[in-house]
Amino acid sequence: MSLRMIRWTALTLATAGLVLAVLFHWQVFFRVPTEASMGLVQRIFYIHAPAAWVAFLAFGIVALCSAVYLWLGEARLDRAALAAAEGGFVFTTIVLLTGPLWGKIAWGTWWTWEPRLTLTLLLWFIYLSYFLVRGATENPGRSQRFAAVVGIVGALNIPLIHISVLWFRSLHPQPVVVRADGPSLHPDMLNTLLTAMGSFTLLFLALFLLRYSVERMGDRADALVREQLHPTPGPTPRA
Amino acid sequence: MTLPPLLEARGLVRDFGPHRAVADVDLTLDVGELMALFGPNGAGKSTLLRLLSGSLRPTEGELHFRGVPFMPGDPRVARQVGVLSHRSFLYRHLTARENLRFYGRLYGVVGLEERVARRLETVGLQARMDHRVATFSRGMVQRLALARTLLHDPALVVLDEPFTGLDLDAALRLSRVLTEVRSDQRAVILVTHDLQRGRELATRVGVMSRGRLEVQAPAHSLDGPGLEALYRRVVEVPS
Amino acid sequence: MTLPPLLEARGLVRDFGPHRAVADVDLTLDVGELMALFGPNGAGKSTLLRLLSGSLRPTEGELHFRGVPFMPGDPRVARQVGVLSHRSFLYRHLTARENLRFYGRLYGVVGLEERVARRLETVGLQARMDHRVATFSRGMVQRLALARTLLHDPALVVLDEPFTGLDLDAALRLSRVLTEVRSDQRAVILVTHDLQRGRELATRVGVMSRGRLEVQAPAHSLDGPGLEALYRRVVEVPS
Amino acid sequence: MTAWIWAVWAILHKDLTREFRTWERLVAMASFAILTAILFNYALDRTEVDPARIASGLIWMTVLFSGLLGLGRTFHLEEEEDALVGLLLTPIPREALYFGKVAANAVLLGVIGGLLLGVFGLFFGLEVRGNPWALAGVMALGIVGFTAVGTLFSAISAGTTMGESLLPLLVFPLLVPLILFGGRATALVLSGGPAEALGGPVRMLGAFAVLALVTGGLLFRYVVEE
Amino acid sequence: MTAWIWAVWAILHKDLTREFRTWERLVAMASFAILTAILFNYALDRTEVDPARIASGLIWMTVLFSGLLGLGRTFHLEEEEDALVGLLLTPIPREALYFGKVAANAVLLGVIGGLLLGVFGLFFGLEVRGNPWALAGVMALGIVGFTAVGTLFSAISAGTTMGESLLPLLVFPLLVPLILFGGRATALVLSGGPAEALGGPVRMLGAFAVLALVTGGLLFRYVVEE
Ligand code: HEM
Ligand SMILES: Nc1ncnc2c1ncn2[C@@H]1O[C@H](COP(=O)(O)OP(=O)(O)OP(=O)(O)O)[C@@H](O)[C@H]1O
Ligand SMILES: Nc1ncnc2c1ncn2[C@@H]1O[C@H](COP(=O)(O)OP(=O)(O)OP(=O)(O)O)[C@@H](O)[C@H]1O
Ligand SMILES: [Mg+2]
Ligand SMILES: [Mg+2]
């Protein structure tokens, strides 16, 4: 797929995502029933949870691309992983912002030491180091492999985060959607959640593609520089 | 029937970021050959040797060892290659003998003890074999590094400026050893800045410049001045 | 009236534990002289240079600089000495220019910027001056190390195997620079294993063996074969 | 296969020889561990809390920190004269290198761990002699997991321009389960809790160790290959 | 004298260039601090003790750990290509080298320290905004003392074969008072204790810092002397 095409798809996805975003905000504010125990704040849920899931999706992509990159050594995959990682980082940050907002009202505290919260924070740190490692070596190929390894290992945390609320006694609510016996939500809540989910996913994909194309352009630039430094050979002197 | 060449490289390229250190090098090396590589500082000699010895992954191009393609870290090839680089690969806190023993084990050398003793004797370090490398003079370190390189009788010997720091006597020994290796159905490729010494040892000479292997010529076809003239022509003429 | 010699050493001894690396060396070096030291590996050349340059404390013996006795770390002397050792003294993570600037400041060099530029140009590194040393080839590092050594126009230049890793062109430049230094009322003492090159450069040659400075002779009194014969005699004959 | 084990052993042997020649890392880790214990003693205001009650957690923290100190250098030793490049040029499989290193580090950390139990037992008056085997077992499991992770990432951090300072950032996030379950298990053993209660955390530690070793073994080659 | 200051500045500038060229190291140390805070949180069984109560002690422990992480490397950088030898060959007085290094390290640790206060404040809900100046003062005093000692000994350990790992062994005994008084002072400030009560520990910290700087300045030359 040519860069131009990539950028166009990215833009279309972005617009679609924004439309959905408007839609689900409308739903959030005018449609869904207010949740009984927590009241209005509960509506953060429609940003909070989808953001988390999209982040998971993103890091899943990172792990996948990284693994295949290590296997095939295909530079594009590394670029893809990087792009996805940045998306995931953003959405994790959103979770880490909306969570406390909610918590302040639902639990009366911004933050508490509680498995899911902590693990999420640590997830954020792992991908911080993912970006650090990239910049920190003498030769590019190496840092990309390092990053890939970090990306893969980091993703191992995700299932742990999901399960954490089940394993440990914890404040954080149990799964209400992704659970053995199907979703336990008011249908309006559910489809609002799904709209939000869709919107975030589209936005993420748009971001992902844009970053990817930027990375690719960077590679092109390098190639051009190289071409200038080493023009294709002329006639070489013979002995 | 003709055997495939010991080592064959096609279209080797190695980039460091935007910088192309080795640009499209083709090279074949046959048993019984000793190739001397010359070139100005930064020409890409060391990088090329690292590519050929499989300690660096080429950006493009392929390598064949006895006709079979290989990638860095292929044990079948590694077992038959001996490498001397700018750094000694030795452990400063271990004694000369411990260093050789260690590497000998990793190469699965049989009859290790007396092999080690023999090599130490070839490089004239018996007297110091139980001293820590940290206490060695530069030339002694270089000698030990050479012993390490030749320890497992590699079929392909790759040497980057092997005469560095060696005194007259040691240099003479080395020349003798290399000639033996060559005449023993094995091959040597070495880099040096000493044109004359290189020419006298080599069966073939090559000159690199700006990442390209510009010329190759049989050593006997050149006398001292001839080689120097060739070198200057290659280096001056911007290819 | 006669000026005192630039550098004078009397009865220098340096022991490393039981091992005597330098044994009772007397040496005077005058301005306008260029002394070349030869000797087998482990003879004590580097150790002697370290003593003369004040980077190592002698076990016995004394040193005089322009007639005044001095000890390692004497700033008055340090300011007038330039040293090139086996190691480069450079910071791998700083650029060539940053390295020179840094040392220039410490030596209190005036007109630093354009001095640095000039030196970089003498060693032919202008093109790479803003690249990190970590990305340099061996010869480039050696060139930069030389630039560092000569940065502050030292009256006494101490060089340990300065031609290591230099290509023909760089070696030529260095020879030229050293001749200038010598003829400019300053002095040079260098170690090399290349008898001929040393002889051509030097006004005086010396041969070390087993820690002793066995012979000293004016360079012009010897031709190539003569020097080699002398060297062999000194080295072979157990003193 | 024998060649494989032979290689692992060669690495292990080399690292330990070097270690017992210079005592570099052992001395460092040991002193660090002991003094940390002392400092904890001071840092924790006695009037606020009885250190003994929280010792099990502190023990694991200390193992972690002194471990990092030692692990951070495993590959630095190799970098010194580019020995790592030399190692990778040998025909041994990269996994052998990894497991050799893990083994060496585990041995060192094992020593430290034992020492720590003693020291804390002394300072905080813990009942270490209760059932030493359970304690040792928990320690061992945790240490294996820790070194498996630590070795992998110390290879990475050694390869970067940041050196050791990157290591904690890389490993800490992954070690939370270790601290958590390790601490819990140790506490249980120390307080002589019921054996069945111990099962959970121990199983977790085991799972962690296995997972770490497997991932490490799989990914290591990509970390070191040039 | 001007030459002297010029030299100190040159060293400081060089080290900081290296640090800030890529913010890597700082980010690493900072996150190290944060992660340590998190780990402490986990290591300490909350049913047993409320971390907030012992936070001041932990803050200082963490400063120490992250400090050692950074300090250990200061002379390692110089060792890489024997640059230290090169430095000693320059006409600058050894003291200038020492104080340059101390300055560089103090700056780095200062950043970390400030960050730590913030982090602990957040996680443990400490009243940091109470009187920030007192806090900053205490922190600064402690850090100066710490770097003064740490730099000296990191030079020693860089010289020994044992490498930087020996550092803790050498430094820690000296740091016990630092932790002690630093922790106490911080605790007092945080609990908004009476100003006069603060006087004691602060004076001790000050004395420690001065003493450390003086001894360091005097001894350094002998440490690096070949
Ligand atoms: C304070 C920081 C918080 C963080 C870091 C956080 C993190 C997360 C994460 C990572 C998820 C996705 C987990 C998964 O589905 O596997 C999630 C989901 C969720 N969070 Fe939070 N959360 C926080 C606070 C809160 C608060 C205060 C509430 C409400 C009281 C809350 C309610 C939920 C709900 C209902 C879900 C969806 C559960 C599901 O269906 O799986 N979260 N949160
Ligand atoms: N890790 C690296 N990162 C960036 N550039 C590099 C790296 N290694 C080498 N280079 C560049 O590649 C080019 C070739 O380096 P190489 O060491 O092969 O030169 P060389 O021919 O061995 O020179 P010398 O004769 O000085 O040893 C140089 O310009 C060098 O700067
Ligand atoms: N730090 C040390 N500890 C113990 N012995 C040492 C130390 N440094 C040098 N030596 C010994 O002193 C002797 C002289 O070393 P030196 O480096 O001066 O030799 P050299 O003449 O420079 O040899 P080369 O030509 O190989 O450089 C050698 O035998 C060496 O082993
Ligand atoms: Mg080279
Ligand atoms: Mg020498």
Q: How far is the CA of D26 from the centre of ligand 1 (A)?
A: 44
Q: Rounded CA gap, D123 and D51, in Å?
A: 9
Q: How far is C95 from chain A (nearest CA, A)?
A: 13
Q: Is the dihedral of CA C86, C87, C89, C95 positive or negative?
A: positive
Q: Which of D159, D169, D173 sits opposite A146 (nearest CB)?
A: D159
Q: Rounded CA gap, B114 and B105, in Å?
A: 13
What pLDDT does residue D68 have? 85
Inter-chain CB proximity E39 and D165 less than 8 Å: no
pLDDT > 70: percent of chain E: 77
Residue closest to B85 by CA, chosen among D86, C25, D226: D86
Chain-centre distance for alpha carbon B81: 9
pLDDT at B130 over 90: yes
Q: Rounded CA gap, D33 and D118, in Å?
A: 11
Q: How many other C-beta atoms are found inside a 10 Å radius of the C-beta of residue D71?
A: 29
With beta carbons under 8 A apart, name residues in chain A contacting C132: 138
Residues D151-174, mean pLDDT to the nearest whole number: 85
Contacts of C221 (CB under 8 A, 6+ apart): none
Residue indicated by tokens 């940065």: C151
Contacts of B163 (CB under 8 A, 6+ apart): B171, B174, B192, B194, B197
Which residue did the predictor score with more confidence, E63 or A33?
Answer: E63
Residues A142-167, mean pLDDT to the nearest whole number: 86
Q: Which of A118, A133, A153 sits opposite D174 (nearest CB)?
A: A153
With beta carbons under 8 A apart, name residues in chain E contacting A118: 38, 41-42
Residue type, D205: L
Residue closest to B22 by CA, chosen among B51, B53, B54: B51
Q: Is the dihedral of CA E86, E92, E98, E101 positive or negative?
A: negative
pLDDT at E120 over 80: no
pLDDT > 90: percent of chain E: 15
Q: Which residues surround ligand 4, an ion (CB under 5 A)?
A: B 46; C 138
Determine the longest span between alpha carbons in chain D, in angstroms. 60
pLDDT band at residue E46 using 50, 70 and 90 as cut-offs: low
Q: Rounded CA gap, D66 and D33, in Å?
A: 6
Say yes or no: CB of residue B104 within 6 Å of ligand 2.
no
> What's the CA angle centered on E85, arms B148 and E22, to 5 degrees?
85
With beta carbons under 8 A apart, name residues in chain B contacting D80: 91-92
What pLDDT does residue C44 have? 95
> What's the CA angle centered on C26, arms C23 and C29, to 5 degrees?
135
Residue closest to C202 by CA, chosen among C164, C144, C235, C162: C162
pLDDT > 90: percent of chain C: 86
With beta carbons under 8 A apart, name residues in chain B contacting A233: 23-24, 212, 239
Least confident window among A57-61, B7-11, E33-37: E33-37
Q: Which of D159, D170, D177 sits opposite A129 (nearest CB)?
A: D170
What are A102's two structure tokens?
Answer: 């909610």
Give C196-232 pLDDT, tens digit per residue: 999 999 999 999 999 999 999 999 999 989 999 999 9
What pLDDT does residue C21 have? 95
What pLDDT does residue D50 have? 64
Contact of E36 with E124, CB cutoff 8 Å:
no
Q: How far is the CA of B42 from the centre of ligand 2 (A)?
A: 5
Give A48-94 pLDDT, tens digit per residue: 999 999 999 999 999 999 999 998 888 889 999 999 999 999 999 99
Q: Rounded CA gap, B218 and D18, in Å?
A: 47
Q: Provide the ipTM.
A: 0.88
Q: How many other C-beta atoms are found inside a 10 Å radius of the C-beta of residue E189?
A: 27
Residue closest to B13 by CA, chosen among A224, A226, A71: A226
Q: How far is the CA of A33 from the centre of ligand 4 (A)?
A: 72
What pLDDT does residue E162 have? 46
Give C28-57 pLDDT, tens digit per residue: 999 999 999 999 999 999 999 999 998 899
Contact of C39 with C161, CB cutoff 8 Å:
no
Say yes or no: CB of residue C21 within 6 Å of ligand 3.
yes
pLDDT at B238 over 60: no
Contact of D151 with D102, CB cutoff 8 Å:
yes
Chain C contact partners (≥3 CB pairs within 8 A)? A, B, E
Strand order in the sheet with C68-69: C19-29, C7-16, C60-65, C68-69
Least confident window among B36-40, C174-178, E145-149: E145-149
pLDDT band at residue A239 using 50, 70 and 90 as cut-offs: very low
Contact of B86 with B160, CB cutoff 8 Å:
yes
> What's the CA angle centered on D157, arms D151 and D159, to 5 degrees?
105
pLDDT at A237 over 50: no
In residues, how long is chain C?
Answer: 239
Residue indicated by tokens 């006709």: B67
Give B177-196 pLDDT, tens digit per residue: 999 999 989 999 999 999 99
Q: How far is B58 from chain A (nearest CA, A)?
A: 11
**Ordered DSSP codes for chain D:** -HHHHHHHHHHHHHHHHHHHHH-HHHHHHHHHHHHHHHHHHHHS-TTT--HHHHHHHHHHHHHHHHHHHHHHHHHHHHHTTTHHHHHHHSSS-HHHHHHHHHHHHHHHHHHHHHHHHHHHHHHHT--TTS-HHHHHHHHHHHHHHHHHHHHHHHHHHHHSTTGGGGHHHHHHHHHHHHHHHHHHHHHHHHTT--HHHHHHHHHHHHHHHHHHHHHHHHHHHHHH--
**Ordered DSSP codes for C182-224:** HHTT-EEEEE-S-HHHHHHH-SEEEEEETTEEEEEEEGGG--H
Phi then psi for residue B37, to 5 deg, are -105, 130
Q: Is the dihedral of CA A218, A219, A221, A225 positive or negative?
A: positive
With beta carbons under 8 A apart, name residues in chain D contacting A59: none
CA D186 to each of CA D132, D183, D190, D191: distance values in angstroms, whole numbers, following the listed order: 11, 5, 6, 8
Give residues 111 to 140 of A whose Cβ lies within 8 Å of C: 138
CA C187 to each of CA C61, C166, D120: distance values in angstroms, whole numbers, following the listed order: 22, 22, 64
C21 forms beta bridges with none
Q: Which of E35, E162, E183 sits opposite D28 (nearest CB)?
A: E162
State how beta strands C187-191 and C156-160 pair. Answer: parallel
Residue type, D75: F
pLDDT tens for the 239 residues of chain C, in order:
578 899 999 999 999 988 999 999 999 999 999 999 999 999 999 999 999 998 899 999 999 999 999 988 888 999 999 999 999 999 988 899 999 999 999 999 999 999 999 999 999 999 999 999 989 999 999 999 999 999 999 999 999 999 999 999 999 999 999 999 999 889 999 999 999 999 999 999 999 999 999 999 999 999 989 999 999 999 885 54
Q: Which residue's CA is minimally distant from atom 33 of ligand 1?
A: A173
